[in-house]
Amino acid sequence: MKKKFVFSVMLVFLVTVILSGCSGDDKNTITFWTPLTGDDGAYMDQLVKDYNETDPEIKVKHVITSDMYTKMSTVLNSGKGIPDLSIIHADRVPSYAKQDVLEPMTTIMESGSELKEENYLPQAWSSGNIDGTQYTIPLDIHSNAMYYNKDLLKKYNVEHFLDDDVVTFEEMLSLQGKLDEGDYVVNDALLSWVIFAQIQNLGGDIQEDGKPAVDTDVMKQSIEAVKEIADLGLMTPYGEDGYLIFQSGNVLFSTDGTWSSTAHAEVEGLNFGVTNIYAFEPEKFTNRASSHLFAMLKSEKRTEEKENGIADFLEFIRKNSIEWAEAGQIVASKEVNESPEYEKYMQSFFTSNEKEIESLYIYTYEYYPYVAEALDTYVADMVHGEVDIDEGLKTMQTFVEDKIAEGDKGEAKAE
């Protein structure tokens, strides 16, 4: 027992040392935490490198932090090792603001005169605004997207599905019995995101008077509509990787993310394009989205000099984030996403006109992360007929309510 106690003390000390080493304690360095553990981390590394090469007074150190939200809770509780700047997801802002752990961006916006609402995509900006206080500066919007196989559309003579840029349920169902064995209309990639889109298409929501609304008629209708596609054998089989089946050339439509365009482009012979997530009617379509946002956790050690340096860095990103488009993200800065250079990126489709921009829907409900976790856990079983929908809805409602009762926001899943 004594050895275990000594080991525990040493472990706590080691974690504290590591976090302090990655903190904002160095007055000559802006410590910048992100959860970008995938390929997007390399793109952010390059952006930081490009900024540091401008020889700023205070350079930026990018620290990719796995389990970042858990570590944020640790440093906030200890008051030590708090980073100067972070990237957080849009669904974190409401709870963080409620907990009073975010520093408003007021002084940053005053230092960087062009860090203002009119210079960014509206949803990205407003997702960081709580009760009139701006807590974040946006980097991007990352959205659900639907890729299509051009060769299969031609093969089955359904290229006209894309005439209005919206593929409907009716159009997809019309292919019943018309596909070769081994071909499918759509996969089940990011299935919960597709359901979130249908909820908006039906005029619904996931909350009512601040309380979670999961076991609802609109949620049931959304799941039933997608389930019909699966029931007719038009969706890739349950348990198989529909994303890879699309890349193999056997799926007409793949409902994954804007960031996937880079991976799809590396597949030899895959002739593909991008459009909106399927919908009930062409007049109302939604692409469920989220946003990476620059934020500052409250810290007494963040100096005025560092705040000025952060403003300079964010202004650099606002003007120079075309590199972020390489990662398949919808860049939030209008200076970038309205530039001719940006048009070469596939995700520029989603900022090509006002209707497309309006389709990018970011949920800002305080308990959205719990609703998303519930859908991620149970929706595939319901769509593929493994669980009765009414039973699944009741289970999800209870799941979310229990999470809220636990008050364990720090462990909620961000997307």
Q: What would the pLDDT profile of 250-283 be if each residue is shown by its tens digit?
A: 999 999 999 999 999 999 999 999 999 999 999 9
| Whole-number Å distance between alpha carbons of 60 and 40 | 17
Beta bridge partners of 60: 30
Q: What is the pLDDT of residue 204?
A: 98
Run of H or E including 61: strand 59-64
Dihedral of alpha carbons 120, 126, 130, 131, sign? positive
Its pTM surpasses 0.85: yes
Per-residue pLDDT band for 26 (boundaries 50, 70, 90) equals confident
The CB-side HSE value for 46 (13 A sphere, CA atoms) comes to 13
| Closest CA relative to residue 172, chosen from 326, 280, 13, 260 | 280
Pairing of strands 140-143, 330-331: antiparallel
Instruction: Quickly list DSSP for 344-376.
Output: GSGGGGGGSSHHHHHHEEE---TTHHHHHHHHH
What is the token pair recorded at 243? 């994303």
Cβ atoms of 102 and 298 within 8 Å: the answer is: yes
Run of H or E including 244: helix 242-247
Q: Which domains does the chain have, with CATH numbers?
A: 16-139+291-349 (3.40.190.10), 143-289+367-411 (3.40.190.10)
List, for residues 153-174, the tens digit of each pLDDT value. 999 999 999 999 999 999 999 9
List, for residues 61-98, the tens digit of each pLDDT value. 999 998 999 999 999 999 999 999 999 999 999 999 99
Q: Using alpha carbons only, what angle is made at residue 168 by residues 165 and 170, rounded to the nearest 5 degrees?
A: 145
Run of H or E including 273: strand 272-275
Question: Is it the case that residue 244 has pLDDT exceeding 50?
Answer: yes
Q: What is the pLDDT of residue 21?
A: 47
Question: Is it the case that residue 12 has pLDDT exceeding 60?
Answer: no
| Closest CA relative to residue 275, chosen from 203, 359, 332, 176 | 359
